[in-house]
Structure 1
Amino acid sequence: MSEKMKEGVRLPSREDGLPKRFYKKVSVAETTGGWAVQLDGRGIKTPMKNALAAPTRVLAELMAAEWSAQGEKIDPFIMPVTRLAHGAIDSAPSNRPAIIAEVLKYAGTDLMRHRGEDAELVKRQKAVWDPYLDWAEAALGAKLPAVEGIMPAETAPQALDALKAKTESYDHWQLTALAQATALTTSAVLGFALVEGQASAEEIFTASRVDEDFQIENWGEDAEAEARAARLKAECLAIGAMLEAL
C-alpha cells in the first residue's frame, strides 16, 4: 500500500476555495463616492462590481482593519463589516421594497411577542422584553402586544403602517443594519432598537438570548451551540459598530 493511500484522501475544506492575499498595504482615501478602502493604492470592488466606499471615514477604517487582518488567504466570513457594506451598496438600492417587506414579516412572529409556558421563563421574558415593546409603542408608534404560544400574533394595521414608515425613512446603510439585526435576533423590535440607538449591540444580543440562556441553565450547552452563539454575537457587534461609525 502506498504512503498516499495510507494517508487517505483529503476532502477539500472551505479554506481551500479562498483567494490568496495579493496585497501588502491597506489604506483609506476620500473619493467622489465616499471614503474608499484601497489595497496597495487601488480601490476594491464589491461582488456587483461597485466601488467599496463608505459614507464616513470611520466606517471605511473599520473595513480597512478587516482587510489588514487577513492572513495568507482572504476569508469573507471573518469580515462582517465589509459584508454589511456589500449589502448596503449592492443590494439595498435595488431591493428596498423586498427588504422592507421582509422586516415587516417579523411583526407577527417577533421574538419579543411570544411567551413560553414555564413560569420562570415567562418572568424573565417579561422583565427583558416588555420594556422593548413599550419603547416600540412610544417611539415607533407600533403597539405589539405579547401573546402566549408560537402562532403568529395579530398585528394592527396602524402598527404595520408605523413600522413601514420608519423603515422607509432609513438610508441604505441603516436599512441593511435593520434587516440583518432583525434576521439575526428574529426580532424587528430589537432591530429597530439597535438602529435607533435605544440599546447597545451587546444588550440587543443578550435580549435575544433569553430563551437560549434559560435552556442552557437547565440543560447545559454543547460546543456546537456555543460556537454558533459566538458567531451570532460577533455579527451583532459588527452591526452595532457599523451604525456607530455612520
Structure 2
Amino acid sequence: MRDQLEDALKNQEFGYGQAQHINQIELPKRFYKNVDVARTEAGFVVTLDEKPTRTPGRKVPVAVPTHAIAQAMATEWAAQEKYVDPTTMPMVRLINSAVESGEEQAPAFRAEIGKFAGNDLLLYRADTPQELVDDQERHWDGALVKLARHFDVAFQPTIGIIHQAQPVSTLQRLDAALEGQGLLSLTALVSITGITGSGLLAIALLHQLLTSDEVWTAAHVDEDHQIRLWGEDEEAMERRGKRRVEFDTAVAVVEALRA
C-alpha cells in the first residue's frame, strides 16, 4: 500500500513523487525578486513579482483556503537564493502535489487512508523481546483506546504479521471520520499515513486525539527499539530527519485547515 500512496502523489518537479530525483536534475535559477501573498476570489495565492504561482507540471494556478498555508509557501519561495531547490520547499511541494492531483483524486486518497487503518501498524504486535512488546503496548494501546472510545469502535490486534480482519463496523466508522475533508487535507493525511505507516495515527491526529509528537513517537516504536540495540546509523537518521520535516509540513496543513 505504500507504493499505492506514492503513485497517487506523483507530481512533476515540485511534487512528492519526483522529489527524490531533484538531485539528478539541474536546478533552475531564481527568476524573481519579490514574494508576496495576495487574496483572490479563488483563495490565497503566492505571487512572484506580482504573478501568481502555478504548478510546474500541468501549470495549474495554486490557490489555498488559508493565509497560514500561503504564508508558509511564500516563506519557502523567499528563502531560495541563487537557485530554486524544491527539496527545501516541503510546503510548496505538498500543495502542488494536491493541486496537480485534482479534486477527482480525493475519494482515492480517503480510501487509501482507510485501507491502512484496516491493516494498521498499531494492530500487528511483536511477541518478543519483552522490551519491544512493552513499548508497543505503552504507545499503541493508548492510541487504540482513544480511537475506540471516540468513535465507539472495536479493534482486534494480533501477534505476528498474518492478516487479521477488523470489524466491518469499525472500518465504516473510521471511513466516516474522514467525511468532509477536502483535497488538501486528504493529501496531507495521505502523507502522514505514508510516513508513519498508520492510517489510525493519521485519523487520531485529525481528530486531536493525539498530538503530532505522540503520533511521531508511536510511529517509530520499532525503529527506536533497533536504535537502542544497535545504535544510530548516520544515513538512517538523516532520512528520518527529512521525514520529520515532511511530517511536520503535513501536520501544519491539517491544523491550518482545521483552524
Q: TM-score, normalised by structure 2?
A: 0.85
How far apart are the structure 2 equivalents of 1:206 and 1:220?
A: 17
- Quote how far apart the aligned CAs of 1:160 are: 1.2
Q: 2:87 aligns with which of 70, 77, 85?
A: 77
Partner of 1:38: 47
How far apart are the structure 1 equivalents of 2:217 and 2:95?
A: 24
Cα distance change of structure 1 residues 171 and 26 upon mapping to structure 2, 3 Å threshold: same
Which sits farther off after the overlay, 87-96 or 184-193?
A: 87-96
How far apart are the structure 1 equivalents of 2:123 and 2:89?
A: 32
How far apart are the structure 2 equivalents of 1:213 and 1:33?
A: 44
How far apart are the structure 2 equivalents of 1:19 and 1:45?
A: 15
Q: 2:181 aligns with which of 170, 173, 176?
A: 170
Q: Does 1:48 align with 2:44?
A: no
* Counterpart residue type for residue 66 of structure 1: E
- Quote how far apart the aligned CAs of 1:168 are: 3.3
3-state SS of paired residue (1:160): helix
Cα distance change of structure 1 residues 67 and 232 upon mapping to structure 2, 3 Å threshold: same
Which sits farther off after the overlay, 163-172 or 18-27?
A: 163-172
- Quote how far apart the aligned CAs of 1:240 are: 1.5
* Counterpart residue type for residue 180 of structure 2: S
- Quote how far apart the aligned CAs of 1:202 are: 2.5
* Counterpart residue type for residue 211 of structure 2: S
- Quote how far apart the aligned CAs of 1:15 are: 6.0
Cα distance change of structure 1 residues 185 and 16 upon mapping to structure 2, 3 Å threshold: same
Partner of 1:198: 209
Q: CA RMSD in A?
A: 1.8
Q: 1:241 aligns with which of 227, 230, 252?
A: 252
Q: Does 1:139 align with 2:150?
A: yes
How far apart are the structure 1 equivalents of 2:86 and 2:167?
A: 40
Question: Does the 8 Å contact 2:140/2:218 carry over to 1?
Answer: yes
- Quote how far apart the aligned CAs of 1:237 are: 0.9
How far apart are the structure 1 equivalents of 2:83 and 2:211?
A: 32
Which sits farther off after the overlay, 150-159 or 15-24?
A: 15-24
How far apart are the structure 2 equivalents of 1:152 and 1:69?
A: 46
Deviations 1:111-168 (A, max 9, x none): 1111112111111111111111112212234422221012222111111111222223
Which sits farther off after the overlay, 190-199 or 219-228?
A: 190-199
How far apart are the structure 2 equivalents of 1:82 and 1:195?
A: 21
Partner of 1:104: 114
Q: 1:222 aligns with which of 227, 230, 233?
A: 233
Q: Does 1:68 align with 2:78?
A: yes
Identical counterparts, % of pairs: 38
Partner of 1:9: none
Larger radius of gyration: 1
Q: Does 1:24 align with 2:8?
A: no
Gaps of 5+ in 1: 1-12
Gaps of 5+ in 2: 1-21
How far apart are the structure 1 equivalents of 2:75 and 2:171?
A: 39
Which sits farther off after the overlay, 122-131 or 149-158?
A: 149-158
Q: TM-score, normalised by structure 1?
A: 0.89
Question: Does the 8 Å contact 1:107/1:155 carry over to 2?
Answer: no
3-state SS of paired residue (1:168): coil
Partner of 1:213: 224
- Quote how far apart the aligned CAs of 1:230 are: 0.5
What is the number of residues matched between the two proteins? Answer: 235
Deviations 1:90-122 (A, max 9, x none): 325111232122112213431111111211111
3-state SS of paired residue (1:243): helix
Deviations 1:179-237 (A, max 9, x none): 11111100011111222222332321122111111110011121111111101111111
How far apart are the structure 1 equivalents of 2:153 and 2:202?
A: 14
Cα distance change of structure 1 residues 227 and 134 upon mapping to structure 2, 3 Å threshold: same
